[in-house]
Chains A and B, each alone.
Chain A
Amino acid sequence: AIRMTQSPSSFSASTGDRVTITCRASQGISSYLAWYQQKPGKAPKLLIYAASTLQSGVPSRFSGSGSGTDFTLTISCLQSEDFATYYCQQYYSYPSFGQGTKVEIK
């Protein structure tokens, strides 16, 4: 099974900050990586797929990069509605998710 490790597990940031979340796969997954945003009590929402392709309707302040084993999600200018938990997911083989990164208000 491919293990996905996100870092950090949580952090505090302010509106307007540029934030980066890292996801590392235990083996190469090419670009078969997605990022999701989840708010409390809600289903996850797809933000990015194929490591760097923005899902339709997702604001352009979100971006993704990476391939192989190392990936990043960047939010260029954090907005109030972006405070949430973010998950990476590999779909190269049997799907697996990272443990999540909670972005909290500083």
Chain B
Amino acid sequence: EVQLVESGGGLVQPGGSLRLSCAASGFTFSSYEMNWVRQAPGKGLEWVSYISSSGSTIYYADSVKGRFTISRDNAKNSLYLQMNSLRAEDTAVYYCARASQEAGYDYWGQGTLVTVSS
């Protein structure tokens, strides 16, 4: 069974940092592209970042470029999101999502809540 389990969310002050993790199981993690998607309270979905299966290609949304860093450890079946210089508008549930080849995001984690507030 495919599982994606996020962790690392919590309350952080503006300007602070947080590192999210996504533990993958039930599939060959190193064969899949991965993404982070977030959802602010009561709002819609916003794509945050993409990483290729090898980690060699990375993209970011303009809203987080220069502040967030996506990475992966295929040996540990894990995806990460390092978030620096956090702002109130980064408050959201963060989901990791598996990208199926030209077929959307077929598996999602349960999400982890990040709250940026003083």
A residues sitting closer than 8 Å to B (CB atoms) are 1, 32, 34, 36, 38, 43-46, 49-50, 53, 55, 87, 89, 91, 94-100
Contact = CB atoms under 8 A, between A and B. Distances in A.
Q: Is the interface of B mostly helix, strand, loop or mixed?
A: strand
A43 B22 CA distance: 14
A46 B95 CA distance: 14
Nearest to A50: B103
A100 B44 contact: yes
A32 B102 contact: yes
A53 B102 CA distance: 11
A91 B102 contact: yes
B47 A46 contact: no
A89 to B, nearest CB: 6
Nearest to B62: A1
B61 A94 contact: yes
Contacts of A87: 44-45
Contact of B104 (A43, A89, A94, A99): A89
A95 B46 CA distance: 9
Contact of A98 (B44, B62, B102, B108): B44
Q: 6 tightest CB-CB pairs across the interface, nearest first?
A: A34-B104, A43-B108, A49-B103, A49-B104, A95-B47, A97-B45
A44 B108 CA distance: 7
B45 A43 contact: no
Contacts of B103: 34, 49-50, 53
A99 B102 contact: no
A94 B110 CA distance: 23
Nearest to A96: B47
Contact of B111 (A43, A53, A91, A94): A43
Contacts of B110: 43
Contacts of A98: 44
Contacts of B45: 36, 38, 44, 87, 89, 97, 100
Given A49-B100, A50-B103, A99 B44 contact: yes
A43 B37 CA distance: 10
Contacts of A91: 99, 102, 104
